Structures are given as structure tokens and as C-alpha cells.
Amino acid sequence: MNEMTPKNPFKKSFFDLKELVDSIHENLLCPVTIEDTNHRLHAYSSHEDDTDAARIGTIISQRVPEKVINRLWKEGIIPKLMQSDAALRIPHIEDIGLRDRVAIAIRKNNEILGYIWVVEGPRKLMNEQLDLLKDAASAATPLMAKLYQNRKRKEENYQDFFWQLLTGQYKSLKEIHDKFYDLNLRMPDSFTVLTFRFQQDITRKMEEQLSYLITTSQKIINHFLVVMDEELILIASPHPSQPADEAFDDFISFFISEMANRFSILDVEGAYGTSYGDIDKAETSYQEASKVLEMKKRFPEELENVFHFRRLGVFRYMDVLHKDQRAKRYEHPAIAKLETYDRLHNSNLLKTLEVFIQQDSNMNDAAKKLFVHTNTLHYRIKRISEIGSIRLSDVNEKLGIYLDLKARKFDEK
Amino acid sequence: MNEMTPKNPFKKSFFDLKELVDSIHENLLCPVTIEDTNHRLHAYSSHEDDTDAARIGTIISQRVPEKVINRLWKEGIIPKLMQSDAALRIPHIEDIGLRDRVAIAIRKNNEILGYIWVVEGPRKLMNEQLDLLKDAASAATPLMAKLYQNRKRKEENYQDFFWQLLTGQYKSLKEIHDKFYDLNLRMPDSFTVLTFRFQQDITRKMEEQLSYLITTSQKIINHFLVVMDEELILIASPHPSQPADEAFDDFISFFISEMANRFSILDVEGAYGTSYGDIDKAETSYQEASKVLEMKKRFPEELENVFHFRRLGVFRYMDVLHKDQRAKRYEHPAIAKLETYDRLHNSNLLKTLEVFIQQDSNMNDAAKKLFVHTNTLHYRIKRISEIGSIRLSDVNEKLGIYLDLKARKFDEK
DNA sequence: GACTCTTTTGTGAAATCTCACAAAAGACTA
DNA sequence: TAGTCTTTTGTGAGATTTCACAAAAGAGTC
């Protein structure tokens, strides 16, 4: 074998990724695939039978299986790939059918455009061959970039359209239909607006990561995505594999925890509006999702596990109630009396009442929540109705006070 | 006609109000009256027949009829007149026999001394003529001032004062105290506004009967009383012999049943606002009482036994909730689904849900109310939460639906 | 009419809740 | 420090609620 570094077989221009992949295969004699940043398959070498389960799965579904992606993240392989210029060896991971591999990121300046994966046979690749992959990656760069450019141009059009949908610019459903047709988009049968709020502006880099998460989650099908300062908005449908009712709850939990785990981006809040059939309700769904976020900010404990507008319950009305309360400068006399009593006797009657009602007037549950004996609570409730002269047995009166209590907290802090 | 502003025909001294009134009549060719602040008639132009019922009533009784005064207050006309330097047009109010008019306050510095009223004929007055009235008012000032000097300050008729209290005309408590002193009235330590609504206008005769009932009831001490069309309004305190908390409830029940028993006057509704210490809260208390009446009309079953504002509970907010619901055109999906289900299967799930929540989620009570077996209700509730995909175990969600259900009924019928 | 699916009613045992009574602990006052 | 009032905790019996299971009745379809 020649001691010199072999001359670069990739220093020519390739017509497309397929041609490049075949060329890599010829040089390394191993199965090769090229994926984009979202692990979508764009080209793979054929004419070989020495391959593994993960690769077959990828080729069949045009995409790297979720299980494999998760594992690669968990093992820290993807982050390492993203940071390295050179090709890396990835030891086999038996239980997901991944044999020994070599991979390298395709990059343009600092931006990752995709990955080249090579399945190693029994004869391992030599270092010179790994170096060759670097050249292959360089050769892939313009091809991948072209791919992204096309996508980006389309995206810009989408973004405008998307905003117009969300802000109710379109007056008729027909108009929206036409626009969908123009942009060559499939109109979803039903859709939901999801929104996420971050603690900081969303950078270009974060945007990549989150769009990566969305496409790989396999929980929802995303139709539109837009980033606006510190807010991320999606129009999506549940993924067919998911139970529709929970798909979005699941996705939001998934998204928030993965943003934290994978990217250390904390304090993300998410919510979604009602699902509608006709896309002209996009504005409504968006406003609903925004309202959930707004209320979650004001009532973090109460709405900790609420993401869907439908589950807002009374909090759906908290803003108007609070506004009315302010306008009328009304304070429920019972609340005023209890507050005074609490201050004078260093007691906790107001909080007790709130917890009691919130626990559906169940003495035992409420007592547990308050860390007191059931009879203590019993006694307190008796005192509360005496001091505030309220009849807790009257549902309407009880709930009225509950609303007042909550509305007071609307702009606490 | 001369294009120049006509010279001031009132820039001379008049011997008395009669002379002034005639001069105004000559200049405007419309019927004119001059009243003092208590709407007592002091002068009126004669020699014309083009006049209306209100004016005739005024001339005959030497005073503007009570009904007309009350209406002018309620419509905000008197307050506007009191604040304006210029003459104001008052559009006709058919049902009290008031034709189109123009009026202007007679004032000395900032004190109101009375009013000039002009009945407009078919030919409306022109702006120059309205300006003329300003001069006429100035001419009236010394004449009215003389009148007041001669007259004792104490007024036997408190009606105006009462209206001013109820419509919040007084800006400071001090002002009200002074007025009480002027009128030689004892200021109540604490008070409450009660209001009753009749099915028909309250006649002079009924007025006697009800004022008789009030004084003989021995349940409340009445400070003020006013009758306004079909409404009776009181400012009162509990009678010392009565337990304060129940005095008003008792009185209202008593009053309603006695009106029916003794005088066969049926369908009277009564309500009262919060008790306040400072009389400047009279307006608030009155508005509270009115709100109770309004809500009782809309939710007769729910509020059958509610008279006090404090006991309105959630219904205190029903108007804003309903308004919000309409504005957002939002219907809770669970309600929509249940309604459809009811229609398709001839069932009663919506009503069941409402009763269930209203019975404080007590299966037994609710089953009794619905005349079904406990287990039937148990089954239905299970179905309801399935069909509407609601978690009745979540208080906030449950309560939210309850509010929606009630708000829907806001303007049923 | 047979069949299926939904709804209502019945039964009873286990779990849970309510409430009266009493003792103990704290708080405040004289 | 005793005395009073308020608040908390403990105990336990009786009432109430919950829930699984099953039978019966109704509704709708073929």
C-alpha cells in the first residue's frame, strides 16, 4: 500500500447526494447513509448486504428510528459528533441493533447540516480512511446546503402565512384554502396551536435544537412553526400513533423535559388551545394557548399540571373576575373579616378556607394538605363560617368566595 | 333676520320672576317656567296653550311631580344641568309626559339657585336663542337669591337629597354631614339600602300602604324612602329589637307576604345591599341591591331565598361571565358534546350535571333532586365525564363548567 | 323477534366520613 | 400563677358514601 496520504477522491463536484454516497461506498467498502440534522435520510448506498437492524429501520422509514436517536443522545454521541470536526467511532449498542460505526458531521462554518454514517464490517477502517471521511463531509456540504436553501425559501413564505393565520388576517376560509394551495401545503383535517414560552429570547441555535426535538418526538405532526422573541408557536396535529387526547400533554411534557435534559434550557412553559377543524380558527386556538400561559404565570401552583385550555376551569375567567373586582372596589366582607382575624390572632383561616374548597370540601384531604388533624380542620371550618357568617353548605355562596379568593391572587407579587 | 348677535334683552333689572318669565316668553315664544333647587315652581309664563302634561302637573301642584323629578335624576339630567353653564337640550321622555325641552341652571358663583325650563314647540330653538337663555339665567340670579334669603333653609322634602345620595352626587363625606345638619336629620350609625320591585307602577294609594307597613313592621328603622315608578327604595337600619343579621331578610319576607295578604299586591321582589357605616357608600349599597334584583329575575329558582348581596355567591359575577362568554363566542366543548348527546339520545345529561354540581357533588342529594336511583346518577356521572372528557374530580374544572352552565342561562327566555 | 348496546335499578360489603365528647396544649389576662 | 378562652388532637360509634356485581328494562338495528 502506498505510504502517502491517498489523493482526495472527493475533490470533484457531485451531482447529488446519491452519487456521493456511492463514491464513499466505493472507497470504504462499507454501507453508508447521509442524514440531515433531523435524522431524516437523504441518501444511502445500495449493493451490499452486510448491514444491521438500525440501518434497515432507517432506510425503510426514511428516518432514523426514535429509539436509536434517544439512545445516541443518552450516550452523549450526538453532542460529541456535533462538536467534532473529525470522524468518530461509535461502539456497537447491541439492544438497539446498532453495530460498530463511524460517523462524521457535515458542517458549513459552525452550522451542522447533517451526518454521514458508515457501518463497519468485521474489518475495521483504518485512520487514513477516517480522514477520507472528512473530505467526504466537505464534499457533502454544498449538496446539503442547497437542500436547506430550498427549504428556507419555502419557510420564509410559510412564516408570513403562519403569522397571518395566527393574527386572523384572513377573513374567509376560502382565502386560506387558496393560500394553502398556492404554497403547495396539505391542509390538516384538524389542528391545534401550541405555544412555548422561554425565559430568554430564542437564539438561532436554540431554534435548531427545538425544531430538532419537535420532528424527532414522534408525538405530534407539526404543520407550522414560528419563533417570536421568547415564544415558540406551533400548529400541529396529534401523531397517528398517539392517543389524540393525550398527545399534546405528552408532547409538552416531553418537550420541556428534553429541553432541560439535552440542552439545559430550563423554565420553559408550554400550553395549547382547543383543536379545531377549520383552519380559520387558528387565531382563536392561539389566543387560548396564550391565555393558558398567562394564567400559568399567575397561578403556578394551581395550574402546574394544566396545559390545555379546556382544563383551565375557573381560571379561564380569572382575568374578567379580577377586573370586575377592581372596578367595583369590592371585597367580600367574609374575606375581610377573616383576614383581620388572621392578622390579630396569627392564624390561617383564609388559607384554610381556600384549601378546603379547593379539596372539594373534603375534610380529610384538606386536613392532609394543611398538615393538621381532621378535627382541627373541622373546628376551623366551623369558626370560619361563624366569623365570616358564610354558609359553606350553600354551593353558590361557597364558590363565590372561592372565586373571590382566587381573583385576589391574580396580581399578587 | 339680522345677522348680528341680538343685543341682550335681559340686561336690565326685573321687578320679579314673573316679569322675567314673561320677557323670556316674549323673546323665545315658548312656554317657560322657573323652579328652585327643590323643583318648587316660582314663576311660569301664561298666555299660551302649547304645553305638555309635565308642565301642567307642575303648575297645578306648584311643584314638579315626584315622578318627573325621579326620572330626571335617574337619566342623569339634573346632574348634567348642575354642571353646565349653558342651556341644555333635554330630549322628550314620553312616558312621563315630557316634551322636548331646553333648560339651564340659575347659579350664583358655584351655588345652584334654580332652573329655567323652556318647552320647545314644533319649531326648535336656534343656537342664538339658547345663548340668550344664559343671559336670562344671569338676570334670574338676584331674584332667586332674594327668595332663598327669605326662605328657611330647612326643606321638608328630602327626596332630592336622597337621590343625590343614591346616585353618588356627593363627593365628600363632610358635604353629606353638613347636609344632614342643614336638614336637621340624624345621621344613622350604619345603614343599608333596600329595594323592592313591583309588577306595576306604585300608585299614591299603594305608597300609603307600604309606608304604613314599613313603620309598623318593627323590624327595621327607616331613614329615607323613595318611590320610583315600580321601585321602592329605603335607607334603613335594623330595629334594635332584631338580630341584626336577619333583620333585613325577615323584613323583606314580612313585607312581601303582607303586601300579598293585606293588599293583594303580588309578585313583589325585594333585596338589599351591604351595610355600611359611612353614608357616602349609599350609592354602592343601592347598586348592590339592584344587582340582586336583576339576578333574581334571571335566576329565579337559584336565588329564590337570596335577598342579600353577600349571599349572591357566584351569581354576583354572572353578568360579566356571560358578557365574556358572548364576546369570545366560546362554548365549553364538554357542554357542546353533552348537549348533542342529549338531543340524539333524548337524555338529560346536561341537567344532571348541573344538579349534581349544585348539590355539592353529593350523589345522594342530587339523585333525590333528580328522582333517580343513586346508582343511576353514579352511572350517569361516569358517562358524563367520558362523553365530555371532563375530570369532575378537579374542582377548578368542575367549577368552570358550572359557571359556564349558569352563564348560558343568563338570558334564556 | 333476536341481538346488541345502553340505561336503570337493586343488593350488600367495605371504606370513608361526620360528629359528639373529652382531654390536652396554647394564648392571654389579671 | 391561676383562670379563662381558644385551638388542637384523640377516640370511637354511627351514619353515609362508594363501588363492584348483577339483573332487568329500554332502545335501536337487522
A331-408 belongs to which CATH class? mainly alpha
Give the mean pLDDT of A106-126. Answer: 88
Test A395 with B360 for CB contact under 8 angstroms.
yes
Distance CA B132, CA B86 (A): 10
Q: Is the pLDDT of residue A5 over 80?
A: no
User: Stretch A329-357: mean pLDDT, rounded?
Assistant: 92
**What letter would DSSP give residue A65?**
-
- How many whole angstroms separate alpha carbon A52 and alpha carbon A137? 23
State which residue of chain A sits closest to B393, comparing Cα positions: A360
Q: What is the predicted pLDDT for the residue at B3?
A: 46
Average pLDDT of chain B is 87
Please give the C-alpha separations between residue B94 and each of B62, B98, B228, in angstroms, as whole numbers. Answer: 22, 6, 16
B409 to chain A, any CB pair closer than 8 A? The answer is no
Torsion region of B346: left, alpha or beta (phi above 0 gives left; psi -120 to 50 gives alpha): left
For residue B218, the SS3 value is coil
| Residue B389 neighbours by CB under 8 Å, 6+ apart | A245, A310, B334
- A332, closest residue in chain B (CA to CA): B310
pLDDT digits 0-9 by tens, A379-413: 999 999 999 999 998 999 999 999 999 999 998 76
A348 pLDDT above the threshold of 70: yes
Cα dihedral B358, B360, B365, B371 sign: positive
The cell numbers describing A128, all together, are: 487514513
Answer whether B385 touches A (CB < 8 Å).
no
CATH of A167-313, one of 3.40.390, 3.30.70, 3.90.1200, 1.25.40: 3.30.70
Q: Protein B378 CA to nucleic acid C12 C1', in Å?
A: 17
Indicate the pLDDT class of residue A214, thresholds 50, 70 and 90: confident
* Nucleotide nearest to B376 in CA–C1' terms: C8
Cell of A394: 350553600
At a 7 A CB cut-off, the residues bordering strand D are: A 345, 347-348, 372-373, 375-376, 378-380, 383; B 345-346, 362-365, 374-375, 378
Cβ of B217 near strand C (distance < 7 A): no
By the 8 A CB rule, do A64 and A70 touch?
Answer: no
* A17-150 topology per CATH: Beta-Lactamase (3.30.450)
Q: Worst-scoring range by mean pLDDT, A157-161, B79-83, B317-321?
A: A157-161
Task: Note whether B17-150 and B331-408 share their fold.
Answer: no
B212 touches strand C (CB under 7 A): no
Taking the CA of residue B372 and the C1' sugar atom of nucleotide C3, their distance in angstroms comes to 28
At residue B155 the predicted structure's pLDDT band, cuts being 50, 70 and 90, is very low
Bases of chain C below 7 A from a protein C-beta are 6-11, 16-22, 28
- What's the confidence (pLDDT) of residue B338? 94
> Are the C-beta atoms of A366 and A377 separated by less than 8 Å?
yes
Contacts of residue B124, defined as CB under 8 A and 6 or more positions apart, other chains included, come to B100
Q: Which three cell numbers stand for residue B275?
A: 351595610
Cell of B26: 316674549
| Average pLDDT of the segment spanning B168-178 | 84
B379 touches strand C (CB under 7 A): yes
pLDDT digit string (tens) for A220-262? 988 888 887 889 999 999 988 877 778 899 999 999 999 898 8
Per-residue pLDDT at A8: 80
List the single residue in A302, A317, A394 with the smallest CB-CB distance to B313: A394
Q: Which CATH number fits domain B185-319: 3.30.70, 3.30.1490, 1.10.405, 1.10.357?
A: 3.30.70
Top pLDDT among B207 and B368 is at: B368
Instruction: Tell me what percent of the residues of chain B surpass a pLDDT of 90.
Output: 44
Disruptive mutation site among B192, B317, B329, B398 for chain A (greatest number of A CBs within 10 Å): B317
What's the mean pLDDT in B259-268? 86
Per-domain residue ranges for chain A? 17-150, 167-313, 331-408
Write out the H or E segment, with its range, that includes residue B396. Answer: helix B395-408
Q: How far is the CA of A352 from the C1' of D4 (A)?
A: 26
Give the CA-to-C1' distance from B379 to C13 in angstroms.
20
pLDDT band for A97, please (50, 70, 90 cuts).
Answer: confident
Structure confidence by residue, pLDDT tens digits, A8-42: 888 888 888 888 989 999 888 888 999 988 888 88
B310 touches chain A (CB under 8 A): yes
- Judged against a pLDDT cut of 90, whether residue A378 lies above it is answered with yes
Q: How many CB atoms sit inside 10 A of residue B154's CB?
A: 9
Residue B356 has pLDDT above 90, yes or no: yes
Q: Other CB atoms closer than 10 Å to residue B274's CB: what's the count?
A: 17
In terms of pLDDT, which residue wins out, B51 or A348? A348
Compute the distance between CA of residue B311 and CA of residue B331 in angstroms, rounded to an integer.
27
pLDDT confidence tier of residue A47, bands split at 50, 70 and 90: low
Contact between B63 and B157 under an 8 Å Cβ cutoff? The reply is: no
Rounded distance between C-alpha atoms, residue B226 and residue B205, angstroms: 14
Residue A363 CA distance to nucleotide C18 C1' (Å): 10
| Best mean pLDDT range from A65-79, B6-20, B107-121 | B107-121
Asked whether the beta carbons of residue A314 and residue B245 sit closer than 8 angstroms, the reply is no
A308: DSSP letter: B
Q: Provide the shortest C-alpha distance from residue A312 to chain B (in Å).
A: 7
Phi and psi, residue A113, nearest 5°: -105, -20
